[in-house]
């Protein structure tokens, strides 16, 4: 079932109650995806909060988004399904011992993304999910099989100078005479 994700989350409360969420975020809410990248459909997301055996607050986040972009080889539209998953550790921003605790755990083999938040502070799920989507995006999205534009194997060229801009510059110069 697709229920809208809440905008904000109290990570401390969520961990205490073992919150599990599954839902969607409207595609139009993602404004930081660089053009011509686009989120085409509501993003499916799952979130699970809890406290681990060491008393640390953990949030597992998973998301899946239908994306479109421009292929960096043939420059035609390209669509794909982007997934991302990450575990966050939430630390109390007012806890003076946070750093020494972190050092004490340096030997553990699992890497978590650390979020600091004050007790009772709300996290923006929208921002968290958009951050993860941005991090997961490919650097240069391409079709698996397509022909490069202009029949070369070079990376796509930068846009040629706008011929009208060149004309306008010429005209300006003429007007100065």
Closer residue to Zn ion (CB): 139 or 164: 139
CB 38 to Zn ion: min, Å: 16
CB 13 to Zn ion: min, Å: 47
Please tell me the distance from the alpha carbon of residue 72 to that of residue 17, in angstroms, as a whole number.
46
Dihedral over Cα of 14, 124, 2, 61: its sign: negative
Please tell me the distance from the alpha carbon of residue 125 to that of residue 158, in angstroms, as a whole number.
36
Letters for 72-101 (x = contact with Zn ion by CB under 5 A, - = none) are -xx---------------------------
Closer residue to Zn ion (CB): 48 or 143: 143
Closer residue to Zn ion (CB): 21 or 74: 74
Closer residue to Zn ion (CB): 80 or 119: 80
Please tell me the distance from the alpha carbon of residue 33 to that of residue 5, in angstroms, as a whole number.
19
Identify the burial level of 169 via C-beta atoms within 10 angstroms of its C-beta, where 0-12 means exposed, 13-18 middle and 19 or more buried.
exposed
Is residue 51 a contact residue for Zn ion (CB under 5 A)?
no
Closer residue to Zn ion (CB): 42 or 141: 141
CB 144 to Zn ion: min, Å: 9
By CB under 5 A, the residues from 144 to 173 that bind Zn ion are: 146
Dihedral over Cα of 143, 149, 154, 158: its sign: negative
**Pair 48, 93: CB distance under 8 Å:** no
Interface ranges with Zn ion (CB under 5 A): 71, 73-74, 143, 146
């Amino acid at each position: 079932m697709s229920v809208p994700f809440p905008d904000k989350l109290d990570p401390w409360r969520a961990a205490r109650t073992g919150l599990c969420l599954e839902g969607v975020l409207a595609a139009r809410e993602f404004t930081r995806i660089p053009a011509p990248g686009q989120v085409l459909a509501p993003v499916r997301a799952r979130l699970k909060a809890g406290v681990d055996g060491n008393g640390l607050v953990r949030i597992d986040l998973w998301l899946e988004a239908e994306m479109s972009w421009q292929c960096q080889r043939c420059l035609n539209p390209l669509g794909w399904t982007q997934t991302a998953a990450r575990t966050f550790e939430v630390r109390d921003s007012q806890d003076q011992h946070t750093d020494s605790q972190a050092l004490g755990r340096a030997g553990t083999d699992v890497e978590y993304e650390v979020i600091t938040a004050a007790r009772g502070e709300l996290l923006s799920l929208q921002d968290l999910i958009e951050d993860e989507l941005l991090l997961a995006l490919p650097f240069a999205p391409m079709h698996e099989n397509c022909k490069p534009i202009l029949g070369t194997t070079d990376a796509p060229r930068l846009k040629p100078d706008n011929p009208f801009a060149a004309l306008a510059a010429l005209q300006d110069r003429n007007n100065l005479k």
